[in-house]
Amino acid sequence: MTENSILDVLKQCFEKFIPAEDARTTITPLEFTITLVFCYFGDSKTFSLESIRRFMIGRLNQSISRGAFWERMAGNRLKQNLQSVIAELMGRLAASVQVSETILKQLGVNAIEVVDSSSITLLPGAKNAFPGTRTKASIKWHASFDILTGLLVWFQLTPGKRHDSKCFPEITSLKGKLVIFDLGYWAGQTHLNFPF
């Protein structure tokens, strides 16, 4: 995919799910969402709600009060719009990825899987059952996906403070597969007993 075709697909997905008009606001949902997304392409490594609001004011050249900004950030509408766009992009990505048997054969594998985890913050009362990092309660979802089919092939739920290196699919289930994971899985991983 060329850079222009990628931008075209992004534009189509945003326009399909995010309204370009809203009589209740001077900044349309489409303008708001696109500017919010582009905020993350900047050089800044820290994002506070106030810095995002200032960025958007500068780019849109319109005033946004703190209350109005927070209301739009916290509402379900933005979340639902972004979920719809991401689901559409994922569907299009899956449809555009055509990995033939030839490529798998050249790689010497029969599948490609990605392993990673994601933490979900819980209410403070769950801290004893699900201790997280920095004294918060959280649960961690460890998962492996087949990137060619998009199928979930393995998962495990643990307390949030459980290190990634302690959760990994059974090594025997990965035989013949190209497995992609980050360096967090190498810390103290002697128990994994990689057979290579």
pLDDT value, residue 96: 63
Terminal C-alpha separation, the chain? 36
For the segment 99-152, what is each residue's pLDDT rounded down to a tens digit?
Answer: 667 777 888 898 889 999 988 888 888 888 888 887 788 899 999 998 877 789
Q: What is the pTM of this model?
A: 0.50
Confidence band for 50, pLDDT divided at 50, 70 and 90: confident
Query: Hey, where are the domains in the chain?
Result: 3-96, 101-192
Residue 105 token pair? 């054969």
- Report the alpha-carbon distance of residue 70 to residue 64 in Å, rounded: 10
pLDDT value, residue 134: 77
For the segment 60-113, what is each residue's pLDDT rounded down to a tens digit?
Answer: 999 999 999 988 888 888 888 888 988 888 777 766 666 667 777 888 898 889
> Which residue(s) pair with 145 in the sheet?
114, 152
Is the pLDDT assigned to residue 191 strictly greater than 60? no
Confidence band for 184, pLDDT divided at 50, 70 and 90: confident
- Apex 155 CA angle, 150 and 159, nearest 5: 140
Please report, rounded to a whole number, the percentage of residues in the chain having pLDDT higher than 70.
85
